[in-house]
């Protein structure tokens, strides 16, 4: 025992010493040079290395030459090279009909470079974060989308978000077609991202990774069809909090020190109904001609504040109320920095009053609808007025009207009783009054819910609706999930129900989570669709579009791309009593011991006929008689 | 009665048979099924490595040019001698230095080369003539009257592996032996400068040996240099805390190509280096500099430097794509309100380079830009950073951090500056010597402690791949030691690197941790319900049998009596 303990101590000290190998940089500082001569030059610095007069003179002379060269450079009127990277920031505020406020931040860094070009390593970063750049080139990532969401987006009350995301964490990555070991790269990449974002992405393994064949097409330049290079995973259980926000903010060039990001105080952001932060990286065109690629990093943060209930029933909001900060400046590195407020429902100012008022208005076609926005340009000094700070204030005058029902909407639930079987219902609504359109439904179900795919039923308007395309990848126990992808035609103004039955598997006792009675999460289904647009979509490629309207590429005027995530499911699995293994050991051991004991007795004991002893009643009687002194019975 | 006796006998046999089955079948079965897999490790070879006897061999060539020897002395050259030095470092570590010196006279071409005007030219043309092998030293003895070297200079150490030594005036009556014994102390000094000194080697052994005899300075050198590793990430960061006033531009790509890359190319046998750069905005130092009225500038005192890095370091980010140690070089441009900013040393003097470095971490340089624009300039001001100045400082810091110690040449020595390569061949050799020794020391410590650990904790599973890593580490270590002995420095370094890689991989293999903690009380909790009820009857009946036999023997004895 003592030896064991010694050994353990030894291991720990070794591990500790490895961590401490880099000494804490507290009092071991040294200065580079002790020379008194005020010689700020190469020579001065190198003198310690070459402490010799002659050599020093040589260094000095070269140095003089250098200085002269520099002087001439300085004397020329210096014109900075056109920056190959640019940064844009914007915030959209949309008052929701429920009285909540939807604030959506988008930060875009565009860099005219190619991470995947052969032979030339990208290693000098300016605005683009180095940590992400290194990941892109190391793992040959073509496109990367990661989102962390806390709360569920209520489509029926809030309408469509600009960039949808499922509750929990979602990661999908297209790898470059030169990658040979996609699974190895994917595993390592998720581990690295887990470190960068302080999230549990390291729990992504083959059991929750799928390769959807049609739902997740690249959003960037490449039109890939080979889904061998795509990996998709969700962690519906992931809790998003401050520790994920801080590394996300660190990726911004201005951090949270200037620009719109100063509003991101975590105690306010996480005191909200919905919070979603995401990072999207993809190659895009540099210009309209699309001769060169640029890499785009989009960081988005969407948050819905419930100011109605927390604000004593007043439908009033201001930047300060929401974020406990006001805006004072744009990020000096940003080429554009704008705040948009959605005033579509308030053309004449009868619904609410927005102050300070701005003369700038902008129209954009977003999610199939033409919206009007008040624009506040933070790069202009007059935006901030006399107080040198911008505190947007919105006061409601009347009651807002009813919201139009969103054209596409989906929900999902588990039906059935008992712990053996169950049924997953997915309901998709098409609220378009007269247009039918197809949707792609993607369902990724963990292996421990064994889907009975023969029970798959799709019904619309009480009639069987046969999917025109089904891609089904059956699960393998402990290896991969079920992946079900279907193309369903949604009739106009209808409700389509997809049901499939499943059986709950019994897990091994080490496979249960620490709180198994909480249940197991099944990630959201994804409904992707090209929804018919009410107004003509803008298919022109222009840099001047606001960021929030230019995320999903628009290919045709008549429809727009939309993705809807359903609720994640929480399914109870048959859960054993976890002291069971030890009980079983004890019980079997006792049974074995009892059997063995009697067997042993039978074998080793000798048996002989014994005089039968008098019955109990007689013995008792005799006992009493003895006390009384009466002769005993025989 | 006889039947009863027979029955009792049968019971006794049954008990014995059951006990026999339990012992012969049960216990081995239990032993076999609960065993942990432990692959074979070369324990005997590892324990040999525990006591390390290193032999370092240097080839020295001493070449006499015309005019340094009298003709009769010349006839006795060439000859060679071997000088050995032994040091016992501690009970388990010994060092032996072998200097194989060959003496010869210069060839005609070498004489021509030595007739150049300056020492640098001579050095270059001598290098053209012969390619000296890694780790060797060539000393050219030139006559006292030679004009190659300035008056007061005795020894000139070139950019390659050659040195010029001005010979002391030689009396023609001396025999060659006397000449050589007169020369040898000088040659020894040259060799100590150009290849390795005992101090360096002891410092390199610091992983194995408790430091006691090491001087404070070489200790500081050793602590400053980053640990030997198969690769390094070098990151240059420009910190711009005030992008509103300063729009900084640095030509980092070209500067790296001109200043840093030649040095790294030269160092490529030692490790792989990857270089990148980034610009961080709104990155502030952790200390508020104090305004000094006397110089109307902000100052940072040396004591507060230790607090500077921490808030910056959070933004630097580690390299996500590799796990090699990172060397950070930060160029800090103070914000407009806090400039100029100067660093002061302990004696309150301004540090001319305005830079400092932190051992095994990297360096910071403060670059003041306030003089480059007037007060009426329109903000933000475009500023082009003078990369020559910056890179000079960073290069010097990089050399220190990589362990290219600044050598203290003995008086009368001139060291040729390394020039554009950033590193002389003999400096590289010095580094190779100490790195090889350091790698061998580290790898042998790792391997022996791993073996000790595995020996002590019986629960640890040793998989085949770990055994394989350990054996490959051991063989590489042995070859590294052998190559050092043979004087093949390049191979020694390569083998020692392989050894360190393999040993670390074995040591940090996660499979070692799986069953590390499997406490005995849990084992007992599982075994007792089964073993106790099974063993108690067997033991009891065995005891009974024994006592009965004893009784019977006692009875027999009594009967006999």
CB contact under 8 A, A50 and B417: yes
> Which of residues A465 and A99 earns the better pLDDT score?
A465
Which residues of chain B lie closer than 8 angstroms to A17, CB-CB?
A: none
Burial A7-43 (b: 16+ CB within 10 A, else e): beeebeeeeeeeeeeeeebeeebbbbbebeeebbbbb
Statement: residue A397 has pLDDT above 90: no
Q: Is the pLDDT of residue A53 over 70?
A: no
pLDDT of residue A304: 93
A136 neighbourhood in chain B, CB within 8 Å: none
Contacts of A14 in chain B (CB under 8 A): 449, 453, 507
> What is the average per-residue pLDDT within A184-190?
93
- Out of A84-98, A301-315, B258-272, which region has the weakest mean confidence (pLDDT)? A301-315
Least confident of A70-79, A291-300, B105-114: A70-79
- Is residue B298 pLDDT above 70, yes or no? yes
Q: What is the CA radius of gyration of chain B?
A: 35
A32–B353 CB contact, under 8 Å: yes
Contacts of B396 in chain A (CB under 8 A): 32, 45-46, 48-49
Q: Which residue of A has its CA nearest to B427?
A: A49
Query: Which of A23-27, A468-472, B37-41, B226-230 holds the top average pLDDT?
Result: A468-472
| Closest-CA distance of chain A to residue B176, Å | 34
* A125 contacts on B by Cβ (under 8 Å): 276-279
pLDDT band at A523 (very low <50, low <70, confident <90, very high): very high
Confidence of residue B5 (pLDDT cuts 50, 70, 90): confident
For B217-260, write each residue's pLDDT tens digit: 556 666 666 777 778 888 999 988 888 888 888 888 888 888 88
Residue B530 near chain A (CB below 8 Å): yes
Poorest-confidence range of A198-212, A366-380, A428-442, B315-329? Answer: B315-329
More reliable by pLDDT, A401 or A282? A282
**Shortest Cα distance from A458 to chain B (angstroms)?**
46
| Pick from A4, A7, A32: CB nearest B356 | A32
- Give tens-digit pLDDT for B357-399: 887 888 888 888 877 777 777 778 888 888 888 888 888 888 8
Report residue A325's pLDDT band, with 50, 70 and 90 as the boundaries: confident
- The answer, yes or no, to whether residue A47 has pLDDT greater than 60, is no
Q: For residue B393, which residues of chain A lie inside 8 Å, CB to CB?
A: 32, 42, 45
Question: Is residue B56 a contact partner of residue B97, using CB atoms and an 8 Å limit?
Answer: yes
Q: Higher model confidence: residue B205 or residue A124?
A: A124
CA distance A562 to A368: 10
Amino acid A277: pLDDT: 94
Q: What is the mean pLDDT of residues A562-589?
A: 87
- Residues A604, B537: Cα–Cα separation, whole Å: 10
Q: Do A597 and B416 touch (CB under 8 A)?
A: no
CB spacing of A332 vs B244 below 8 angstroms: yes
Q: Degrees (nearest 5) of the Cα angle A118, A219, A281?
A: 60
Instruction: Render pLDDT for A338-392 as a digit per residue (tens, 0 to 9).
Output: 999 988 877 777 777 888 887 788 888 887 788 888 899 888 888 888 888 888 8
Q: How far apart are the first and last CA of chain B?
A: 26
Quickly state the pLDDT bin for A12 (edges 50, 70, 90): very low
pLDDT at position B191 over 80: no
When CB atoms are compared, the residue of A14, A27, A51 closest to B306 is A27
pLDDT digits (tens, 9 = 90+) for A458-482: 999 888 989 999 999 999 999 999 9
The two tokens of residue B39 are: 């692959």
Provide the shortest C-alpha distance from residue B278 to chain A (in Å).
4
Write down the pLDDT at residue A54: 30
pLDDT score recorded for residue A23? 37
Residue B421, chain A, CB below 8 Å: the answer is: no
Detail the DSSP E strand segments found in B118-183. Answer: 137-142, 155-157, 162-166
- How far does A105 lie from chain B, in Å, by closest CA? 20
Q: Does residue A150 have a pLDDT over 90?
A: yes
Closest CA to B367 of B345, B394, B349, B346: B394
Interface of B with A in 139-178 (CB under 8 A): 150
Q: How far apart are CA A625 and CA A180, in angstroms?
A: 100
| 388-407 in chain B: CB under 8 A from chain A | 388-389, 391-393, 395-397, 399-400, 404, 406
Average pLDDT, chain A: 80
Query: ∠ CA B519-B524-B530 to the nearest 5 degrees?
Result: 150
How confident is the model over A218-253, as pLDDT tens digits? 888 766 678 889 999 999 999 998 999 999 999 999
Chain A residues inside the 8 Å CB shell of B345: 31, 34
Chain B: closest CA distance from residue A615 (Å): 27
The average pLDDT across A599-613 equals 78
Proportion of chain A above pLDDT 70, given as a percent = 82
Question: Quick check: B7 and A585 CB within 8 A?
Answer: no
Q: Regarding beta strands A482-490 and A437-445, do their DSSP bridges make them parallel or antiparallel, or are they unpaired?
A: antiparallel
Chain B residue with minimum CA distance to A1: B520
Reply yes or no on whether the pLDDT at A48 is more than 60. no
Of A49, A69, A135, the CB nearest to B399: A49
pLDDT band at B124 (very low <50, low <70, confident <90, very high): confident
Residues of chain B with C-beta less than 8 angstroms from the C-beta of A583 = none
pLDDT single digits (tens) A400-442: 666 777 889 999 999 998 888 999 999 999 998 888 999 999 9
B530 closest CB neighbour out of A27, A66, A593: A593
Q: What band does A24 get if pLDDT is binned at 50, 70 and 90?
A: very low
Of A6, A40, A54, the CB nearest to B353: A40
CA distance B69 to chain A (A): 30
A14, A25, A605, best to mutate vs chain B, most B CBs in 10 Å: A25
pLDDT computed for residue A80 by the predictor: 45
- Please count the residue pairs, one from chain A and one from chain B, whose beta carbons lie less than 8 angstroms apart: 255
Angle in degrees, CA A499, A501, A504, rounded to 5: 140
Mean pLDDT of A51-68: 28
CA distance A218 to B496: 47
Residue of A nearest to B153 (CA): A54
Average pLDDT over residues B535-543: 87
Please name the member of A74, A131, A253 whose beta carbon is closest to the beta carbon of B320.
Answer: A131
Per-residue pLDDT at B222: 61
Would you state the pLDDT for residue A13?
40
Per the prediction, chain B carries an average pLDDT of 79
Mean pLDDT over B443-449 rounds to 86
pLDDT single digits (tens) B260-270: 888 888 888 88
| pLDDT at position B499 over 80 | yes
Pairing of strands B52-64, A85-95: unpaired
Spell out the residues 6+ positions from residue A47 whose beta carbon is closer than 8 angstroms to its own: A33, A35, A56, A59
User: Taking CB atoms and an 8 Å cutoff, what residues of chain A touch B363?
Assistant: 32
- Residue B121 makes CB contacts below 8 A (sequence gap 6+) with none
CA distance B83 to B85: 7
Query: CB–CB of B426/B160 below 8 Å?
Result: yes
Query: Which of B89, B92, B86 is closest to B50 using CA atoms?
Result: B92
Calculate how close chain A gets to B533, using CA atoms only, in Å. Answer: 6
pLDDT at A566 over 60: yes
| List of chain A residues whose C-beta atoms are within 8 Å of the C-beta of residue B305 | 29
B316/A125 Cα distance (integer angstroms): 12
B224 touches chain A (CB under 8 A): yes
ipTM of the complex: 0.78
Residue A629 neighbours by CB distance under 10 Å = 6
Contacting residues of B for A36, CB less than 8 Å apart: 349, 352
Residues of chain A found within 8 Å of residue B389, distances taken between Cβ atoms: 40-42, 66
Examine residue B380 and say whether the peptide bond preceding it is cis (omega within 30 degrees of 0).
yes
Q: What is the mean pLDDT of residues B323-343?
A: 85
Beta-carbon separation of A258 and B415 below 8 A:
no
Q: What percent of chain A has pLDDT over 90?
A: 34
């Amino acid at each position: 025992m003592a030896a064991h303990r010694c050994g353990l101590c030894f291991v720990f000290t070794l591990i500790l010493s490895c961590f401490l190998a880099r000494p804490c940089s507290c009092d071991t500082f040294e200065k580079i040079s002790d020379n008194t001569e005020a010689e700020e030059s190469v020579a001065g610095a190198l003198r310690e290395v070459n402490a010799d007069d002659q050599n020093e003179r040589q260094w000095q002379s070269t140095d003089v030459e250098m200085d002269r060269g520099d002087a001439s450079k300085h004397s020329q009127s210096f014109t900075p090279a056109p920056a190959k990277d640019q940064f844009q920031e914007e915030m959209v505020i949309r008052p929701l009909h429920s009285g909540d406020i939807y604030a959506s931040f988008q930060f875009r860094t565009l860099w005219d470079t190619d991470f995947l070009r052969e032979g030339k390593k990208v290693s000098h970063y300016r605005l683009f974060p180095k940590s992400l750049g290194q990941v892109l080139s190391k793992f040959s990532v073509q496109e990367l989308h990661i989102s962390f969401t806390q709360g569920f987006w209520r489509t029926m009350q809030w309408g469509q978000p600009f960039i949808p995301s499922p509750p929990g964490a979602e990661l999908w990555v297209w790898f470059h077609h030169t990658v040979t070991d996609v699974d190895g790269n994917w595993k390592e990449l998720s581990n690295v991202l887990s470190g960068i974002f302080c999230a549990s992405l390291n729990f992504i393994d083959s059991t929750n990774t799928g390769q959807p064949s049609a739902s997740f097409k690249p959003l960037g330049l490449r039109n890939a069809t080979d889904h061998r290079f795509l990996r998709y995973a969700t962690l519906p259980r992931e809790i998003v909090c401050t520790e994920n926000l801080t590394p996300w903010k660190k990726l911004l060039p201005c951090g949270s020190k200037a620009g719109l990001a100063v509003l991101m105080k975590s105690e306010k952001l996480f005191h909200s109904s919905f919070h979603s932060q995401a990072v999207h990286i993809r190659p895009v065109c540099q210009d309209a001609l699309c001769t060169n690629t640029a890499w785009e990093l989009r960081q988005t943060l969407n948050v819905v504040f419930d100011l109605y209930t927390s604000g004593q029933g007043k439908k009033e909001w201001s930047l300060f109320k929401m974020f406990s900060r006001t805006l004072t400046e744009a990020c000096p590195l940003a080429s554009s920095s704008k705040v948009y407020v959605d005033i579509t429902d308030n053309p004449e100012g009868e619904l609410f009053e927005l102050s300070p008022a701005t003369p700038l208005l902008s129209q954009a076609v977003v999610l199939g609808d033409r919206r009007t926005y008040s624009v506040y340009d933070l790069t202009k000094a007059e935006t901030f007025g006399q107080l040198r700070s911008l505190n947007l204030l919105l006061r409601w005058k009347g009651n807002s009207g009813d919201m139009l029902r969103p054209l596409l909407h989906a929900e999902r639930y588990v039906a059935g009783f008992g712990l053996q079987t169950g049924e997953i219902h997915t309901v998709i609504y098409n609220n378009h009054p007269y247009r039918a359109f197809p949707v792609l439904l993607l369902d990724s179900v963990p292996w421990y819910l064994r889907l009975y795919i023969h029970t798959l039923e799709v019904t619309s308007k009480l009639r069987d609706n046969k999917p025109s395309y089904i891609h089904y990848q059956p699960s393998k126990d402990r290896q991969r999930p079920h992946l079900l992808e279907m193309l369903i035609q949604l009739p106009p103004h209808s409700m389509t129900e997809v049901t499939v039955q499943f059986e709950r598997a019994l897990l091994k006792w080490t496979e249960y989570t620490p709180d198994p009675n909480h249940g197991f999460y099944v990630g959201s289904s994804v409904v992707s669709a090209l929804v018919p647009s009410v107004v003509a979509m803008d298919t022109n490629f222009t840099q001047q579009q606001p960021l929030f309207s230019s995320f999903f590429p628009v290919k045709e005027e008549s429809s727009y791309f939309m993705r809807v995530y359903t609720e994640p499911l929480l399914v109870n699995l048959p859960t054993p009593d976890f002291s069971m293994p030890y009980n079983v050991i004890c019980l079997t051991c006792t049974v074995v011991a009892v059997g063995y004991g009697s067997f042993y007795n039978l074998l080793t004991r000798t048996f002989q006929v014994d005089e039968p002893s008098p019955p109990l009643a007689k013995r008792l009687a005799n006992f009493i008689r003895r006390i009384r002194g009466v002769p005993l019975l025989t | 009665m006889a039947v009863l006796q027979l029955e009792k006998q049968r019971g006794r046999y049954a008990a014995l048979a059951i006990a026999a089955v339990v012992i012969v079948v049960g216990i081995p079965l239990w032993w076999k099924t609960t065993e942990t897999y432990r692959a074979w490790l070369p324990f005997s070879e590892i324990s040999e490595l525990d006591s390390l006897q290193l032999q370092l061999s240097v080839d020295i060539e001493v070449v006499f040019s015309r005019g340094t020897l009298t003709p009769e002395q010349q006839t006795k050259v060439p000859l060679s001698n071997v000088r050995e030095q032994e040091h016992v470092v501690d009970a388990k570590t010994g060092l032996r230095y072998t200097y194989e010196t060959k003496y010869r006279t210069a060839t005609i071409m070498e004489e021509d080369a030595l007739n150049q005007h300056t020492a640098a030219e001579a050095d270059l043309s001598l290098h053209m003539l012969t390619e000296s092998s890694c780790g060797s030293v060539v000393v050219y003895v030139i006559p006292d009257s030679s004009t190659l070297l300035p008056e007061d200079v005795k020894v000139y150490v070139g950019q390659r592996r050659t040195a010029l030594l001005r010979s002391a005036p030689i009396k023609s009556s001396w025999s060659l032996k006397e000449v050589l014994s007169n020369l040898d102390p000088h040659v020894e000094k040259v060799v100590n400068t150009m290849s390795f000194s005992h101090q360096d080697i002891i410092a390199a052994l610091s992983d194995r040996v408790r430091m006691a005899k090491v001087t404070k300075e070489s200790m500081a050198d050793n602590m400053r240099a980053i640990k030997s590793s198969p690769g390094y990430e070098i990151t240059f960061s420009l910190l711009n805390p005030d992008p509103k006033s300063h729009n900084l531009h640095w030509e980092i790509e070209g500067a790296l190509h001109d200043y840093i890359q030649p040095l790294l190319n030269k160092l490529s046998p030692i490790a792989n280096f990857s270089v990148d750069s980034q610009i961080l905005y709104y990155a502030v130092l952790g200390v508020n500099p104090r305004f000094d009225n006397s110089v109307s500038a902000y100052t940072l005192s040396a004591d507060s430097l230790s607090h500077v890095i921490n808030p910056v370091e959070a933004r630097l980010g580690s390299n996500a794509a590799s796990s090699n140690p990172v060397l950070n070089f930060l160029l800090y441009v103070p914000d407009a309100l806090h400039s100029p900013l100067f660093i002061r040393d302990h004696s309150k003097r301004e540090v001319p380079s305005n830079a400092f470095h932190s051992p095994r971490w990297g360096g910071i340089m403060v670059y003041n830009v306030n003089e480059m624009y007037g007060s009426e300039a329109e903000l933000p001001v475009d500023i082009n950073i003078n990369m020559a100045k910056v890179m000079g400082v960073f290069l010097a810091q990089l050399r220190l951090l990589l362990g290219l110690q600044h050598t203290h040449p003995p008086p009368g020595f001139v060291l040729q500056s390394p020039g554009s390569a950033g590193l002389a061949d003999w400096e590289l050799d010095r580094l190779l010597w100490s790195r090889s020794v350091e790698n061998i020391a580290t790898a042998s410590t790792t391997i022996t402690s791993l073996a000790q650990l595995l020996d002590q904790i019986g629960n640890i599973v040793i998989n085949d791949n770990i055994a394989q890593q350990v054996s490959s580490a051991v063989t590489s270590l042995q070859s590294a030691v052998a190559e050092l002995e043979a004087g093949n420095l390049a191979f020694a370094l390569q083998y020692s690197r392989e050894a360190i890689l393999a040993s670390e991989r074995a040591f940090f293999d996660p499979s070692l941790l799986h069953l590390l903690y499997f406490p005995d009380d849990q084992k007992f909790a599982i075994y007792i319900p089964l073993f106790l009820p099974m063993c108690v009857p067997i033991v009891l009946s065995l005891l009974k049998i024994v006592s009965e036999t004893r009784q019977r023997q006692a009875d027999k004895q009594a009967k006999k009596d």
